[in-house]
Structure 1
Amino acid sequence: MVVFRGLGWLFLALAVAVIVHDLLTWWSEGAYPFSTLGSLWAHLDPASLGNTQTSARRHLSGVLWTWMMRPLLTVPAVPAFLVLGAALVWIGRREGGRSEPGFLAGSRPRRRRGGLL
C-alpha cells in the first residue's frame, strides 16, 4: 500500500508542477494554455512520442493509435493527474490509525518498563 500512496503523491505533485508551468506560460504569453498529456509528452521528449506512434502503427493496429491513444493524449493533464493521484492515495490509505507491521513497515520497538535501558 505504501507504493500506491507514493505514486499517488507523485501524481499530485505532477499536477501542481503542471499548474505552475501553465501559470508561468500564461504570465509570459498572455494566453492560458491547457496542457494535455500529449503536449507535455511532446514538450519533454518529442522523439519518443513520434517513435511510439510509429511503432504502434507498425506493430499494432493503426486503430489502436487512432481510437485509444490519440484521445488519451488529448486529455487535460491537471485533471488527469489529480484524479489519478487522489485515487492512488485513496487506494493506499491506511485502515484505522496504525499500519500493520510487515516487510516494509517493520515492527515497532518494544519499550521496557523500568531498568536502566
Structure 2
Amino acid sequence: MVVFRALGWLFLALAVAVVVHDLLTWWSQGRYPFSTFGSLWAHLDPASLGNTQTSVRRHLSGVLWTWMMRPLLTVPAVPAFLVLGLVQLWIGRRDLGRPDAGVLMGSRPRRRRGGLL
C-alpha cells in the first residue's frame, strides 16, 4: 500500500510541476498552453519520441501507433496526472477494513511518551 501512496503523491507532484511549467510558459509567451503527454515528452527528449514512434511502427504495427499511442499522447497532462494521483492515493489508503490489533494479533501495550500525557 505504501507503493500506491508514493505513486499517488508522485503523480500529484507531476501535476503541480506541469501547472508551474504551463504558467511560466504563459508568462513568457503570453499564451496558456495546455500541455499534453506528447508535448511534455517532446520538450524533455524529442529524439526518444521520434525513435519510439519509428520502433513501434517498424517492429509492432503502424495501427498500434495510430490508434493507441497517438491518442494517448494527446491527453492533457494536468487532469491525467491529477486523476492518476488521486486514484493511486485512494487505492493505497490506510483503512482497508483491517481488524483491530487486539482481535487477532493481540494487544500491544502503548508506550508512554514523556510529558504530561
Into which bin does the TM-score normalised by the smaller protein fall? 0.7 to 0.9
Secondary structure class of the residue paired with 2:34? coil
Give CA deviations for 1:19-45 in whole Å, capped at 9, x if unaligned. Answer: 011001101111000000000000001
Counterpart residue number, 2:35: 35
Which amino acid letter does the alignment assign opposite residue 52 of structure 2? T
Across the aligned residues of Structure 1 and Structure 2, the Cα RMSD in angstroms comes to 2.2
Counterpart residue number, 1:51: 51
The structural deviation recorded for 1:110 is 6.1
Q: Provide the TM-score with structure 1 as the length reference.
A: 0.82
Which amino acid letter does the alignment assign opposite residue 64 of structure 1? L
**Where do residues 65-104 of structure 1 align in structure 2 (5 Å cutoff)?**
65-95=65-95
Counterpart Cα distance in 2 of 1:67 and 1:44: 23
How many residues are treated as equivalent by the alignment?
A: 104
Counterpart Cα distance in 1 of 2:63 and 2:109: 57
Could you list the runs of 4 or more consecutive aligned residues of structure 1 that deviate by over 2 angstroms after TM superposition?
Answer: 108-112
Which amino acid letter does the alignment assign opposite residue 43 of structure 1? H
Counterpart residue number, 1:4: 4
Q: Provide the TM-score with structure 2 as the length reference.
A: 0.82
Over 3 Å counting, the alpha-carbon distance change for 1:28 and 1:109 in structure 2 is farther
Counterpart residue number, 1:20: 20
Unaligned runs of 5+ in 2: 102-107, 113-117
Which amino acid letter does the alignment assign opposite residue 19 of structure 1? V
Unaligned runs of 5+ in 1: 102-107, 113-117
Report sequence identity in percent.
87
